[in-house]
Amino acid sequence: RKMEGYRRFLALLVSALLLGFVAVVCSLVWVFGYREGLGWDGGAAEFNWHPVLVVTGFVFVQGIAIIVYRLPWTWKCSKLLMKFIHAGLNTIAMILAIVSMVAVFEYHNAKKIPNMYSLHSWIGLTAVIFYSLQLFLGFAVFLLPFAPVPLRAALMPIHVYSGLLIFVAVIASALMGITEKLLFSLKSPAYKESPPEAIFVNCLGLLIVTFGALILWMASRPHWKRPPEESAKVQRPNGGAPEGVEAESTMTDCSNADRSDVGFNSDAARKRNFKLDEAGQRSTM
Residues near ligand HEM (CB under 6 A) are 50-51, 54-55, 58, 66, 69-70, 83, 86-87, 90, 101, 104-105, 108, 115-116, 118, 120-121, 124-125, 127-128, 131, 134-135, 138-139, 142-143, 159-160, 163-164, 166, 170, 173-174, 177-178, 180-181, 184, 219, 225-226, 282-283
What is the C-alpha separation between 115 and 117, in angstroms, rounded?
A: 6
C-beta of 118 vs 235, nearer to ligand HEM: 118
CB of residue 68 vs ligand HEM: minimum separation in angstroms? Answer: 8
Q: What is the DSSP letter of 171?
A: H
CB of residue 239 vs ligand HEM: minimum separation in angstroms? Answer: 18
CB of residue 145 vs ligand HEM: minimum separation in angstroms? Answer: 11
Residues whose CB is less than 8 angstroms from the CB of residue 148 and which lie 6 or more positions away in sequence, other chains included = none
| Cα separation of the two ends of the chain | 28
What is the C-alpha separation between 106 and 151, in angstroms, rounded?
A: 40
CB of residue 170 vs ligand HEM: minimum separation in angstroms? Answer: 5
CB of residue 172 vs ligand HEM: minimum separation in angstroms? Answer: 8
Helix (H, G, I), strand (E, B) or coil at 89: helix
On whether the CB atoms of residues 28 and 201 are closer than 8 A, the answer is: no
C-beta of 7 vs 223, nearer to ligand HEM: 223
Cα angle 194, 198, 201; round to 5:
155
Q: Of the candidates 186, 178, 180, 187, which has an alpha carbon nearest to the alpha carbon of residue 206?
A: 178
C-beta of 78 vs 173, nearer to ligand HEM: 173
C-beta of 160 vs 254, nearer to ligand HEM: 160
